[in-house]
Structure 1
Amino acid sequence: MCGLLVISFLCSNAVAKQWEELQPLLPKGTQVSYLVVDAKQKDLIANYQEETLRTPASVQKLLTATAAKLYLGKNYRYQTTIEGNRRFIKKGGFSGDLSFYFTGDPTFTRKNIREMLQSLKHLGIRKIQGNVLLNNSHFNGYQWSDGQAWNDLGVCYTAPSNAIVVNRNCVLGNLSLANKDDKQATLFIPQYEPVDITSQVAVVSKEQKEKQFCALEVTRNSHNTYHLLGCMLPRKRPLPLAFAVNDPETYAQQIVADELKNLGIKLTGKVLVDNKVRGKSYQSVLVSHQSPELDELLNVMMKESDNLIADSLFKTMGGRYFKQQGNFRNGTKAVKAILKAKGLDLENAYIADGSGLSRHNLMSAELFMSVMQFVYAHDKQLRLLDTFSISGVDGTLKYHKGVNAKKLKGKVIAKTGSLKGVANLVGVVKSRYGDKLFVLMINGYNKQNSSIDADIPRDPEASLYLFEKAFFNKIYNFKSKG
């Protein structure tokens, strides 16, 4: 027993060593930081390299969610409007330009555009003698954060964060084989999607694929034109595809023009993009659409790790906090300031976005623990723990192998964070001896890395999941000496 003062230091070292003995379960070269604290007593249970800055990936969303709840409030909604001077509504038409103001609503859809235009028609506007101006001035700067991988930008999980969002700035399609002997895959994209996507994808055997070093690739060009090339293996079911809309303005222009035509609203002018900053105006709101409330947005953002919602909220906070157009730069300053006002000084952390997609982001386990402790202590006010994924139940932890043991089902409540070589978790373990807060940051992880010739003996089955299972079992079974 380690109750004597004279051996307390040796005892704490022994406990630390027991936790460090788990590390050979990870492949050689893996970098790990962790911090485990008793939620109620705030006693330190385990720590390792907790001050080291590492790539956070999507656990970065914990910062975004906390700042958004504190600053925007649970009832916050995005609002999209069509505005114009009511005096210009005459004899079944509108004489002048109409403005369509977008505010970065990540849930806004083509159906919402149709509904808003239908409402416009119900006001008696069946002809617009002017232009429809799509205003994108709510945000400025880059659509993607500094440090995102260029070759990920064509897929939907990196859809651009723009003031104009329609259908999540994402187009779905598939590649299929009409016959099992086909040598060329067939591309399907819905006809109503205003994008230009061509394909030249060969169907090859596994041996041919390895010999030719080929893969499925996509090139992106201006005005939402794409070309698929490379190869794929034979398959019975279509291969799902999800293309990020890299030019949201052009995409929205074509959709609005199509919906006006479908509804029989005649437009004498054009659908144009307007980037003038919104100021005092004589215009009135003719039609408006609101997003779901913040709590609903955060639930999707956290449980499903939604990048578009996170980056839109990040820019929104930047714009509102500094009373200017939102962007990634002022979003960074705003989030840090909002959290610091609550005693959460992120010190030397580097924050590039709200989603965690940027490789420039740097956070330590120690800093994440300070935020986690705040979230836990203020759960009645923030209600953020309800948005975390639950092991074996929902979200990104529903099928997560590292926490799928029967006794851990429903016991690990966490935000996940994954990129190539990154596997992080931040949250709570509902252990048999009370709640334990934890931060686990694994970087430099390569599942193909050999466990042979390591400085310390490694388990022959060394893997991320083997380590996670042992790590969370240890937390679940840990009983404080006091």
Structure 2
Amino acid sequence: MLKKILVSLLVVLFFSQCKSTKISRTITKKIQSDFFENQFTGIYIYDVEADKVLYNLNGEKYFTPASNTKIATLFTGLELLPDSIPAFKYAINQDTIIIKGTGDPTLFHPYFKDSTAFKKIKNFKKVNLIIDNILDKRYGPGWAWEDFDSYFSAERSAFPMYGNVVTVSRQDSLKVFPKVYKKSLNITDGFYGRDEYSNTFYYGENRTKETEIPMIMSDSLIINLWDNIVPNKVSIINQAEINPSTIAYSIPKDSLFKRMMEVSDNFLAEQILILASSTLSDTLSSSNVRKYILENQLKDLKQKPRWVDGSGLSRYNLFSPISFVDILTKMYKKIPEERLFQFFPVGGKSGTLKNWFSGIDKPYIHAKSGTLGNNYNLSGYLVTNSGKVLIFSYMNNHYLHSNSAVKKKMQTTFEWLRDNY
């Protein structure tokens, strides 16, 4: 009997080894073409059920991750934030409410349209805002200065409003959000954007596409925005006799995470880290929360990343494929698959993967892309035809090909894994 068991085990091990060898040879052959010769490529593939690394090429090397960084931001939010987003902290003194910002990005946001703060303050005679409790600068380290009026470079702040952007569109009529800027919006022949040092906005005469233009956030702007809603009620103060400590909550955190990941929203990613820091201290600091997560929940990463922002907009970030697979594995083991997969863009169906990596009868890729000039990365979960879940990170840096050409090469590997493992 013992002999039969040993023989069976040897047979299983033999076929398993043969399958691993086949995977290694097939993928290696795919990336040994001239196409990959002058770029930096890293691939790490892990079978979570078998606890087995199926393929490793430069998995321990550091890459510019771009928006793959949002995977670490998602992990942080899931670990530290409660089920609903802490909108702000407050205290009440007779007819006055004192509010301290927590970094919640959803207030009057063009997508979420949350109005928790408005509902809370409308019945008070006076509102005192504390918004200087943040250490983060308006831009992250390594962000490109020329992107100041690009939708993906909205400023970070302790008390965001309207997503910290002016949203303009034209269908039947011109729509401007917040409305306070409608009369002062400049209509131009074609240019759209903002002056570098002032909240002077432009929109093309024949443009119809909804366009988000970052605002320069300041105390005076926030007062102006509130005066347009509740005139002469809101003031900004540096400190109060009563420390705001009661928390008001806004939307479910999963809604925030899903939006951030699906459309790769940089502003939401940055604010999620700031929000997470509010659970550690009254002083808001994305740097402090990144340090905390790396020293605690991610202390066992095989390669410690250089992690400088929440969005991946900075080229200072450095992550390895192994680190992403480790983080993705931690989430997979802790969070039910149905809930976890909803956060990620789905190949051929949603978000940044809507036009790529589609399945035949059903989706098989649930992953986060990361794109910067000359860089494209994808990390997430691949479900094979046999039902196995593979956790992978496929990173490409410093190429001169088109992004589409790189994605086509990646897709052949993913499809082969889907059909053969």
Q: What whole-Å deviation, never above 9, does each CA across 1:38-58 have from its counterpart, x for those lacking one?
A: 221122222211111111112
Q: Which residue of 2 aligns with 1:468?
A: 410
What is the TM-score of this pair, normalised by structure 2?
0.82
Tell whether the 8 Å contact from 2:44 to 2:55 is kept in structure 1 after alignment.
Answer: yes
Q: Which residue of 2 aligns with 1:393?
A: 349
Q: Which residue of 2 aligns with 1:105?
A: 104
Matched, 1:57 2:63: no
| Shift in alpha-carbon separation, 1:120–1:370, aligned structure 2, 3 A | closer
Instruction: Give distance in 2, aligned partners of 1:191 and 1:318.
Output: 28
Matched, 1:375 2:331: yes
Q: 2:230 pairs with 260, 273, 284, which one?
A: 260
Instruction: Give distance in 1, aligned partners of 2:143 and 2:235.
Output: 29
Q: 2:372 pairs with 410, 414, 419, which one?
A: 419
Farther-moved stretch of structure 1 (379-388 vs 306-315): 379-388
Q: Which residue of 1 aligns with 2:86?
A: 78
Q: Which residue of 2 aligns with 1:325?
A: 283
Quote the offset at 1:363 in angstroms.
0.2
Tell whether the 8 Å contact from 1:158 to 1:308 is kept in structure 2 after alignment.
Answer: yes
Aligned residues: 405
1:255 is aligned with what amino acid?
Answer: L
2:217 is aligned with what amino acid?
Answer: D
Q: Which residue of 2 aligns with 1:192?
A: 179
1:405-416 to 2 correspondences below 5 Å: 405-406=359-360, 409-416=362-369
Matched, 1:274 2:229: no
Instruction: Give distance in 2, aligned partners of 1:164 and 1:346.
Output: 36
Quote the offset at 1:142 in angstroms.
0.5
Q: Unmatched 5+ residue regions in structure 1?
A: 90-96, 179-186, 203-214, 262-266, 450-461
Instruction: Give distance in 1, aligned partners of 2:158 and 2:139.
Output: 12
Q: Unmatched 5+ residue regions in structure 2?
A: 1-10
Quote the offset at 1:437 in angstroms.
1.5
Matched, 1:445 2:409: no
Q: What whole-Å deviation, never above 9, does each CA across 1:319-361 have from its counterpart, x for those lacking one?
A: 433x351223212212212323xx5336441000122111111
Q: Which residue of 2 aligns with 1:361?
A: 317
Quote the offset at 1:284 in angstroms.
9.5
| Shift in alpha-carbon separation, 1:116–1:359, aligned structure 2, 3 A | closer
Q: Which residue of 1 aligns with 2:6?
A: none
Q: Which residue of 1 aligns with 2:52?
A: 43
SS of aligned partner of 2:297? helix
| Shift in alpha-carbon separation, 1:309–1:346, aligned structure 2, 3 A | farther
| Shift in alpha-carbon separation, 1:41–1:138, aligned structure 2, 3 A | same
Q: Which residue of 2 aligns with 1:137?
A: 132
SS of aligned partner of 1:142? coil
Instruction: Give distance in 2, aligned partners of 1:27 and 1:289.
Output: 52
| Shift in alpha-carbon separation, 1:284–1:163, aligned structure 2, 3 A | closer
Quote the offset at 1:98 in angstroms.
5.0
Q: Which residue of 1 aligns with 2:261?
A: 302
Tell whether the 8 Å contact from 1:166 to 1:248 is kept in structure 2 after alignment.
Answer: no
| Shift in alpha-carbon separation, 1:32–1:193, aligned structure 2, 3 A | farther
Q: What whole-Å deviation, never above 9, does each CA across 1:390-449 have from its counterpart, x for those lacking one?
A: 22232322x232x03535x41111122222222211111110232222111112233359
Q: Which residue of 1 aligns with 2:5?
A: none
Structure with larger Rg: 1
Instruction: Give distance in 1, aligned partners of 2:287 and 2:104.
Output: 19
Instruction: Give distance in 1, aligned partners of 2:315 and 2:305.
Output: 13
2:200 is aligned with what amino acid?
Answer: T
| Shift in alpha-carbon separation, 1:85–1:475, aligned structure 2, 3 A | same
Q: 1:164 pairs with 154, 159, 170, which one?
A: 159
Tell whether the 8 Å contact from 2:185 to 2:202 is kept in structure 1 after alignment.
Answer: yes
